Structure 1
């Protein structure tokens, strides 16, 4: 604890919370405020994909008022994976020791961030998990839950990763972990990006830990989930899994 009673994460290095945004004008102020209250020492990077609803302008206003809030203006909507990759690169260039993925819509509760950072003291990557004991989802229709559970189970079996929530996007990485994952050749742009990173971390021998979180369905704005995102994930995970199995037979290194 520090002098203000807040839990200290100084041993991990500077913490950067990366929040990609596209049309999140209703959500961006509340989520940043909650992050800053939950872990006051953490910085925030808002990576905005040129939102037509003015999210980028609001982000600039917050940055002008708070030196721990930074803004990255991107050219357009290029996908979640591309936004995170750009955020990771920015964080590495600015010497952050921890880089956190967090959604802008409130589904990832900033109040649970200290739990992820505490676990990271003994790990290389921490996943906020909905599907381990203690984890749960709130206000999700059953078809969304089945889709998410099924996607994680399929990914776990196809890729042989010992993780219950492979598709979740609330994560804390040590900088050294990200630098070792070959970020330059990641092609997945949608939510499949999360599966890709988790699989790479496990294959590289990093210590990956899951901690339970409560995932809350967004109250404002529209979900970015689409059939194309699901189709991309299914196609890529299947290709990766088949390739990994083939490599065991042929002795060739599988493509990521």
Structure 2
């Protein structure tokens, strides 16, 4: 199986899906793409199926039992592990993540030896975001600072959703223990990888807000991120302590 899979979750992205697939494959026609769709009703599924007739490395999985960004990615991760892809990437369908940055994330893992490469909007406290209003920008930036402060994770952009994983990282995660389903899912995945001592690198990117379609961000997702982080930190510390105790008993 080809080593690179790009997972694109969709929910009513008919205005973007054709163009994002074409743009990704223009960067490298050998990339494989998995669209994980949450039962879109706007024609997204039909567009992907039509493209599959000419794109042999394009795959589609339609979920009907539940919705949520985190659950879509978990579905995609399990699919990727089963197919034995070596590098598995997350990216949005709305062009907020530039497909031309994909090789840079892969390079960090494949050539530089990192286990997790994050496309970072806030690396070294520099803000690289286009077309966000000031309120949303400050909220996102402060949320990342808050998460870093509470958890201690050495990552500037903790809520980033443009990521390249080595398969071994995703194979160690117990997905039944993932509690977040919205954008806080991104925080939880990074936190779990960090606790497992995987090597993480942030790669500076420019994030551009969508120009087509509707954002899925709402206040409940923000609340999940803000109020769930402390609970996640406590739970993570308990597991680390317990693991250490068991290791000492065995030595």
Q: TM-score, length-normalised on structure 1?
A: 0.89
Instruction: Please name the residue that 1:116 is paired with.
Output: 105
Q: Which has the higher helix share?
A: 2
Q: Is the CA contact (8 Å cut-off) linking 2:96 and 2:207 kept in structure 1?
A: yes
Q: Is the CA contact (8 Å cut-off) linking 1:18 and 1:87 kept in structure 2?
A: yes
Greater displacement, 78-87 / 179-188 = 179-188
Instruction: Tell me whether 1:197 sits opposite 2:186 in the alignment.
Output: no
Q: Cα deviation per residue 1:202-241 (whole Å; 9 max; x = unaligned)?
A: 1000001000011000000110000110111112102123
Instruction: Please name the residue that 1:126 is paired with.
Output: 117
Instruction: Please name the residue that 1:3 is paired with.
Output: none
Displaced runs of 4+ in structure 1, greater than 3 A?
242-245
Distance (whole Å) between structure 2 residues aligned to residue 42 and residue 118 of structure 1: 14
Q: Cα deviation per residue 1:87-121 (whole Å; 9 max; x = unaligned)?
A: 11111111111110000000011011111111112
How far apart are 1:195 and its partner, in Å? 0.3
**Structure 1 residues 75-224: aligned runs within 5 Å:** 75=64, 78-121=67-110, 122-133=113-124, 136-224=128-216
How far apart are 1:181 and its partner, in Å? 2.1
> Aligned pairs, how many?
241
Gap regions ≥5 residues in structure 1: 1-9
Q: Cα deviation per residue 1:56-89 (whole Å; 9 max; x = unaligned)?
A: 1111111121101100011055100000000111
CA RMSD of aligned residues (A): 2.0
Q: Is the CA contact (8 Å cut-off) linking 1:135 and 1:213 kept in structure 2?
A: no
Distance (whole Å) between structure 2 residues aligned to residue 148 and residue 26 of structure 1: 25
Instruction: Tell me whether 1:23 sits opposite 2:15 in the alignment.
Output: no
Distance (whole Å) between structure 1 residues aligned to residue 219 and residue 92 of structure 2: 19
Instruction: Please name the residue that 2:48 is paired with.
Output: 59
Q: Is the CA contact (8 Å cut-off) linking 1:16 and 1:99 kept in structure 2?
A: yes
- Which one of 230, 235, 243 corresponds to residue 227 of structure 2? 235
Distance (whole Å) between structure 1 residues aligned to residue 127 and residue 48 of structure 2: 31
Gap regions ≥5 residues in structure 2: 244-251
Q: Is the CA contact (8 Å cut-off) linking 2:153 and 2:191 kept in structure 1?
A: yes
Distance (whole Å) between structure 1 residues aligned to residue 166 and residue 127 of structure 2: 23
